[in-house]
Amino acid sequence: MNEESTVETGPFLSGVIEGFYGRPWTLEQRSVLFQRMASWRLNTYLYGPKDDLHHRASWRRLYSSEDLAVLRESVVQCQANGIRFVYAIGPGLDITYSSEEDLEALRQRLKQLREIGVADFALLFDDIPDSMLECDRAQFGSFAAAQARICNTLYADFVQEIPEAVFLVCPTPYCSRMDQEGLGGENYLDDLGASLHPSIYLFWTGPGIISREISEGHLAALKRRLKRAPLIWDNYHANDYDLRRLYTGPIDGRPAKATEHLTGIMINPNCEFEANFVPVYTLGRYVNLGDAYSANQAFAEGLTLWQSEFETVGEAWSRDELTLFASIYYLPFSMGDSASSMMEDIKVLIQREPTDWGDAEGRFHFWRARIQSISVKLTELKHRELFYTFNRQWWEIREEFELLARFIEHKKVNGGRTVLARSPEHLCGTYRGGTIHQLQSLLSMNEDGQFFESNHE
């Protein structure tokens, strides 16, 4: 199994989507990414940052010569590393599907990109309203028919005559939850799959926007509806929906043999480029090892390679420190093993009486010392962008640990009392403050994901 494997629609695509909401990556960061992708046998990069004005808000406007020259640099670097560069455009916010002028605007944009060497394109209809203009409804009758006409036309104009080129589409409902809610209209996915040219790839994120698991059965049922195997747009490591989180864990919970069930898998990862080393590395291992892939082993291997980025002006990071560091961030639905062990010890101290703490107190002081050591070494990193990526989040972790230490000591000295006197470092109005915290404190979430009114003023 490798990136040369093919399925009905063409080559198996594996790689990275720059498709998040937030500041796009720099040319220098993309250059590093392409070199890593080539080394880890990934073959495709999709350019589609949501906050590039040309991608969505100003999709009708052509690039200036200056902006086009910058984009061309990424195209050239991709080609130099043997990486397929896919240019994505998202016109769905305000396109009139029946307008020849809008269709021509898309043609002109793709033509402009073709002139700088882009052969592969993607048309994204994600995160848009699903109400149709009356003129569009009168001509097409449904979203699926309207979008299929645009996609098939552009595919024929720009891709069909180039044997090695690919054309990708993101549907309006791009996960099962959206489909079940009826986004896009009745029978949207079935109609779109039946109407699109059979060589067009269709993106899918799984049962949800962020999917903990994507099973073979789920994909088999979807393939029947789409008339093709899906291309996974994997948001497992995306953090643009919660910028207080970063994800440094491995690809996991995906089918053992990707090339048997998919036309490709591409990750849309953390907005912060430097957090993506291990996720991208493990994607390469997943794609190329098939059912021999082990998430835990790939995570360990990725940390071994990543450790070279953590050179400091002071004392070196230990492997155990880096493992705890990455385990704390890890994945949206779980912590890594080291962080899980640490959390269990803290829960013992918080939830039980001091006489029932056992060895947990001693381990807590061990964890606290390690957190403090990492805090110092993080500030001493030579790779300053790596430091800036994690510094604010790690500052919060360190602050919480110090508050926990104060609380645990108070509980021990005062016979288990759980009301802690004021902390000079954690004052009302400054600690856990601001409008966001006040809004979030109004509703609480239980383990089933249900919201209810919080029990405080």
pLDDT in tens, 347-403: 999 999 999 999 999 999 999 999 999 999 999 999 999 999 999 999 999 999 999
Q: How many domains are contained in the chain?
A: 2
Q: Which of 306, 335, 350 is the last residue of a domain?
A: 306
- Tell me: do 375 and 262 sit in the same domain: no
What's the pLDDT score for residue 49? Answer: 93
Average pLDDT (193-197) is 97
- Tell me: do 253 and 201 sit in the same domain: yes
Q: Is the pLDDT of residue 269 over 50?
A: yes
Contacts 24+ apart (CB under 8 A), 367-375: 367/342, 367/401, 368/401, 368/405, 370/320, 370/321, 370/324, 371/397, 371/398, 371/401, 372/398, 372/401, 373/321, 374/317, 374/321, 374/324, 374/325
Q: What pLDDT band is residue 404 in, cutting at 50, 70 and 90?
A: very high
What's the pLDDT score for residue 91? Answer: 96
Percent pLDDT > 90 in the chain is 83
What's the pLDDT score for residue 6? Answer: 35
Average pLDDT (271-281) is 98
What's the pLDDT score for residue 9? Answer: 63
pLDDT in tens, 33-77: 999 999 999 999 999 998 899 999 999 999 999 999 999 999 999
Selected residue with higher pLDDT from 410 and 279: 279
CATH classification of the domain holding 90: 3.20.20.80
Selected residue with higher pLDDT from 446 and 103: 103
- Tell me: do 283 and 329 sit in the same domain: no
Angle CA 172–231–146, to nearest 5: 30
- Tell me: do 273 and 333 sit in the same domain: no
What's the pLDDT score for residue 29? Answer: 97
Angle CA 320–321–327, to nearest 5: 85
- Tell me: do 148 and 258 sit in the same domain: yes
E strands in 195-239:
201-204, 231-234
What's the pLDDT score for residue 5? Answer: 36
What's the pLDDT score for residue 71? Answer: 96
Q: Is the pLDDT of residue 7 over 50?
A: no
Q: What pLDDT band is residue 191 in, cutting at 50, 70 and 90?
A: very high
* Mean pLDDT estimate for the chain: 93
* Residue 383 structural domain: 319-417
Q: Is the pLDDT of residue 95 over 50?
A: yes
- Integer Cα distance of 44 and 79 in angstroms: 10
Q: Is the pLDDT of residue 429 over 80?
A: no
pLDDT in tens, 100-134: 999 999 999 999 999 999 999 999 999 998 889 99
Contacts 24+ apart (CB under 8 A), 372-376: 372/398, 372/401, 373/321, 374/317, 374/321, 374/324, 374/325, 376/314
- Tell me: do 129 and 227 sit in the same domain: yes
- Tell me: do 263 and 330 sit in the same domain: no
Q: Is the pLDDT of residue 307 over 60?
A: yes
- Tell me: do 207 and 354 sit in the same domain: no
Sort strands 443-445 and 451-453 into parallel, antiparallel or unpaired.
Answer: antiparallel
What's the pLDDT score for residue 438? Answer: 79
Average pLDDT (159-186) is 94
What's the pLDDT score for residue 3? Answer: 38
Average pLDDT (309-318) is 98
Residue whose token pair is 């082990």: 294
313 CB neighbour count, 10 Å cutoff: 9
- Integer Cα distance of 220 and 254 in angstroms: 13
Q: What pLDDT band is residue 8 in, cutting at 50, 70 and 90?
A: low
E strands in 244-326:
264-267
CATH classification of the domain holding 339: 1.20.58.240
Helix, strand or coil for residue 201?
strand
- Tell me: do 215 and 286 sit in the same domain: yes
What's the pLDDT score for residue 439? Answer: 81
- Tell me: do 258 and 327 sit in the same domain: no
- Tell me: do 85 and 138 sit in the same domain: yes
Of 334, 310, 314, the closest CA to residue 389 belongs to 310
The residues annotated with a catalytic role in the active site are 127
- Tell me: do 324 and 302 sit in the same domain: no
Q: Is the pLDDT of residue 435 over 90?
A: no
What's the pLDDT score for residue 403? Answer: 92
pLDDT in tens, 46-56: 999 988 999 99
Q: Is the pLDDT of residue 425 over 60?
A: yes
Q: Is the pLDDT of residue 423 over 90?
A: no
Q: Is residue 426 part of a domain?
A: no
